[in-house]
């Protein structure tokens, strides 16, 4: 049973983050979920530019609400004279610094690892970038879609033909980098327990996404042909993908071995002789003859409604799924039955938020509010010893 007051793994850890968009905020939200205090440094008056992406969540931006709960927002103009001293005081008390500023910006602000390590030897510094330090792409701007392109993702996603390539429907390169930064920071914290000193974690979006491209890379090893674009179907396993049913719906199904192929022919298609057809006698043959096989499967399914097809697949033990839209996911019966939604406060009212996928029986995940821009500036600066008058002066000067 989950403890309601259990100590969280990162209770007592303080993270300062110079972050924007998705990769770094997604990383630090995971740290906040585990109990870390995350101080998010934002531009006065504007904030993280992801705040302005849209107004889909009661007037707030969908990306921002997703990646920024349980944080404190400190507005600070990094170009004003007061900024270095405030950052210095914050870092004196911090365990981790995370930044995904433009290439070279952290070094220009005096926030490169070597300088920081000399002053704060226990500080862990995580630098997230598009292409990594060094190399011909070090200074190149990087956004999620551009990394999907450079990392080869677009070459295997979508339908046949260059004009039919498709990006992932979410920020997959940002998410990959954010998760590697998250795990890298956790590793660095464990290492600090052994060594007593902090270390640098460097994560690039390109390398994160290319790691996730391991299967198509090895499939195309030594100049072999890469997996073809196959839409929502699997490129190299068949049948594995979407098929229409007679009521205008779509079922997703997947076969993994020859036993399942035989059962599929007998119990789902109700065509046992098809299992002996030499055109489909092994997976590679089914892939080679996928158009013929798709026609046969579609012909059988279009005489049935979705519920009947799923019923047959379930009885046969064949993996299957419905093709849900976002409304279907919000209402997903499995998420509802497992009580995976919680209400999180925002400046625009409460919104539902999904519990993190890793559930512990030892503590309750932190699910605190999404901060308004600069909501915690006065409180944080007061902790650093600044008087109310000084804070008001800085606010008047646009420094916070």
**Three-state SS across 54-106?**
CCCECCECHHHHHHCCCEEEEECCCCCCCHHHHHHHHHHHCCEEEECCCCCHH
Assess whether pLDDT exceeds 90 at residue 1: no
Q: What is the pLDDT of residue 4?
A: 52
Assess whether pLDDT exceeds 90 at residue 5: no
Q: Is the peptide bond before 315 cis (omega within 30 degrees of 0)?
A: no
Tell me the C-alpha distance between 15 and 125, whole Å.
10
Assess whether pLDDT exceeds 80 at residue 272: yes
Distances (CA, A) of 188 to 97, 110, 117, 207, 356: 12, 22, 14, 19, 21
Q: pLDDT tens, 276-321?
A: 999 999 999 999 999 999 999 999 999 999 999 999 999 999 999 9
Assess whether pLDDT exceeds 90 at residue 43: yes
Which CATH topology does 240-323 take?
formyl-coa transferase, domain 3 (3.30.1540)
Q: pLDDT tens, 343-369?
A: 999 999 999 999 999 999 999 999 999
Which of the four pLDDT bands, split at 50, 70 and 90, describes residue 376?
very high
Assess whether pLDDT exceeds 90 at residue 3: no
Q: pLDDT tens, 127-162?
A: 999 999 999 999 999 999 999 999 999 999 998 766
- The count of C-alpha atoms lying within 13 angstroms of the C-alpha of 66, restricted to the half-sphere facing its C-beta, is 18
Provide the token pair at 291.
């158009």
Q: pLDDT tens, 219-245?
A: 999 999 998 888 889 989 999 999 999
- 247 part of the active site: no
> Tell me: domain 14-212+340-396, CATH 3.30.420.40, correct?
no
Share of residues in the chain with pLDDT > 70 (%): 98
How far, rounded to the nearest angstrom, does the alpha carbon of residue 126 sit from its chain's CA centroid?
17
Where in the chain do CATH 3.30.1540.10 domains reside?
240-323
Environment class of 21 (CB within 10 Å of its CB; exposed 0-12, middle 13-18, buried 19+): buried
Q: What is the pLDDT of residue 240?
A: 96
Q: What is the pLDDT of residue 2?
A: 39
Asked if 20 and 102 count as a contact pair (C-beta separation under 8 A), the reply is no
Residue in 81, 114, 174, 291 annotated catalytic? 174
Q: What's the mean per-residue pLDDT of the chain?
A: 95
Assess whether pLDDT exceeds 80 at residue 13: yes
Where in the chain do CATH 3.40.50.10540 domains reside?
14-212+340-396
pTM of the model: 0.92
């Amino acid at each position: 049973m989950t403890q309601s007051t259990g100590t969280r793994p990162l209770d007592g850890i303080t993270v300062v983050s110079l972050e924007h968009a998705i990769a770094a905020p997604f990383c630090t939200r995971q740290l906040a979920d585990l109990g870390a205090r995350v101080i998010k440094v934002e531009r006065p008056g504007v904030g993280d530019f992801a705040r302005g992406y849209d107004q889909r969540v009661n007037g707030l931006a969908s990306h921002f609400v997703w990646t920024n709960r349980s944080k404190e927002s400190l507005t600070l103009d990094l170009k004003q004279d007061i900024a270095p001293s405030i950052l210095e005081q914050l870092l004196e008390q911090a365990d981790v610094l995370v930044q995904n500023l433009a290439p070279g910006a952290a070094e220009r602000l005096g926030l490169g690892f070597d300088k920081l390590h000399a002053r704060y030897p226990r500080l862990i510094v995580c630098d997230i970038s598009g292409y990594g330090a060094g190399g011909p792409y070090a200074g190149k701007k990087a956004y999620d879609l551009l990394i999907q392109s450079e990392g080869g993702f677009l070459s295997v996603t979508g339908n046949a033909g260059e004009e039919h390539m498709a990006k992932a429907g979410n920020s997959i390169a940002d998410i990959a980098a954010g998760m590697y930064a998250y795990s890298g920071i956790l590793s660095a914290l464990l290492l600090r327990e052994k060594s007593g000193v902090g270390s640098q974690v460097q994560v690039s979006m390109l390398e994160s996404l290319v790691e996730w491209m391991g299967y198509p890379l090895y499939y195309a090893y030594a100049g072999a042909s890469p997996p073809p674009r196959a839409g929502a179907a699997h490129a190299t396993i068949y049948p594995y993908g979407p098929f229409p049913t007679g009521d205008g719906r779509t079922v997703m199904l997947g076969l993994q071995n020859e036993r399942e192929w035989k059962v599929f022919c007998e119990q789902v298609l109700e065509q046992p002789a098809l299992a002996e057809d030499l055109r489909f006698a092994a997976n590679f043959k089914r892939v080679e003859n996928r158009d013929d096989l798709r026609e046969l499967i579609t012909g059988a399914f279009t005489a049935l409604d979705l519920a009947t097809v799923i019923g047959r697949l379930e009885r046969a033990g064949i993996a299957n799924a419905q093709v849900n839209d976002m409304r279907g996911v919000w209402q997903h019966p499995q998420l509802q039955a497992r009580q995976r939604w919680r209400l999180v406060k925002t400046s625009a009212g409460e919104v539902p938020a999904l519990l993190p996928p890793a559930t512990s029986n030892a503590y309750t995940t932190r699910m605190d509010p999404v901060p308004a821009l600069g909501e915690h500036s006065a409180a944080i600066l007061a902790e650093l010893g600044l008087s109310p008058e000084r804070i008001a002066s800085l606010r008047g000067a646009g420094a916070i």
